[in-house]
Amino acid sequence: MALQYADGTAPEPDAWSLEKHVESCTACAVRVSAAVRAGAAGHALAAVRTELLASLGHRPAPAAAAGSPLGRWARLWWAVGPALRGSWLVAVFLVVGGAFGLAHGAGFRGAGGLLLAVSPVLPLAGVAVSYGRHADPLYEITAASPSGGLRLLLTRTAAVLAVCVPLLTAGGALLPRAAGAPGAAAWLLPGLALTLAALALGSFVGCRAAAATLGGGWLLAVTGPLLDGPDAGAGSGSGAAALAPYFSGSAAQGGWAAAALACAALLALRRRSFDHLEPR
């Protein structure tokens, strides 16, 4: 049936059935795609693909390097999404570098608290610029493909977390820690819960709006403790210690874990919503 579909001889009911089937079956989608590329339309589709990628600034690897490990890593880097190829990655390094500059250059003891406070929202920013109509120039194409939708969104979210988790945790561990301040890894569960909440809320309003709403709410919530206390501005770290109710203790961490599980369950229930294009 894939061969008949590729050369245009499949009856219309069979063609409609096949098109519906490949929306949820990756193996058959690959089979049909290979049959179409091997047919008469293959050259035209390859030309369209080349022109489309060229218009987006993508330079294909030379044929000799296409099968090399470097070529495979280049394709993987392109597939993980706009966040790791754009300004978000630079912003993460600037945040960590700024915290080190404040701590070791200006002697500001509260730099660790500042980094801890913003760490949970940095993955949200990466998700916001990784998927959606306003972030991905190939959004309409990827959303309509069998590997698009939630599967692609989770892949790109995993790539964002793979950068954030080791970098921010190691950076926080190397910064001076004020007495009573949460540990460097205390942000992991809150960050995971907020990321899953952004994905779940994004199934209703889009990833960008969800990330902006949750990120803004989190920053408003932690601004007060950071600025609280007469010595907070002097770099004593009292503001960082005031963040303990958000991060430290079994009650706080257990609450974040429960929130993460609840958001994951909601995301599973709403997984089909990502198969439809976001509203403009």
- Which of the four pLDDT bands, split at 50, 70 and 90, describes residue 142? confident
Residue 62 has what pLDDT? 57
Instruction: Find the distance separating the first CA and the last CA of the chain, reported in whole Å.
Output: 37
Residue 234: pLDDT band by 50, 70, 90 thresholds? very low
Q: How far is CA 38 from the centre of its chain?
A: 34
User: What local confidence, expressed as pLDDT, does residue 73 receive?
Assistant: 66
**Mean pLDDT throughout 176-190?**
86
Contact between residue 182 and residue 248 where contact means Cβ atoms under 8 Å apart? yes
Q: Is 243 exposed, middle or buried (0-12, 13-18, 19+ CB in 10 A)?
A: buried
Asked if residues 119 and 172 have their Cβ atoms less than 8 Å apart, the reply is: yes
Confidence of residue 74 (pLDDT cuts 50, 70, 90): low
Q: Are 244 and 254 in contact (CB under 8 A)?
A: no
The confidence score (pLDDT) of residue 139 equals: 83
Averaged pLDDT for residues 232-236:
49
Compute the average pLDDT of residues 173-198.
90
Question: What is the Cα 45 distance to its own chain's centre?
Answer: 29
Task: Give 141's contacts (C-beta < 8 A, 6+ positions apart).
Answer: 148
Taking Cα atoms as reference points, which of 242, 145, 122 lies closest to residue 194? 122
What does the alpha-carbon distance between residue 256 and residue 247 come to, in Å, rounded to a whole number? 9
Asked if 203 contacts 274 with a C-beta cutoff of 8 angstroms, the reply is yes
pLDDT at 58: 65
Res 24: pLDDT? 82
What pLDDT was estimated at residue 229?
A: 47
Average pLDDT, the chain: 84
Quick one: pLDDT band at residue 280, thresholds 50, 70, 90? low
- What's the rounded Cα separation, in Å, for the pair 250 and 273? 34
pLDDT at 154: 92
- Give 152's contacts (C-beta < 8 A, 6+ positions apart): 81, 131, 142
Across 20-24, 64-68, 150-154, least confident range: 64-68
Q: What is the pLDDT of residue 77?
A: 64
Share of the chain above pLDDT 90, in %: 37
pLDDT digits (tens, 9 = 90+) for 43-63: 888 888 888 878 876 666 555
Q: Quick one: which of 201, 207, 213, 190 has its CA closest to 263?
A: 201
Q: Give the global pTM.
A: 0.76
Tell me if 32 sits within 8 A of 42, measured CB to CB. Answer: no
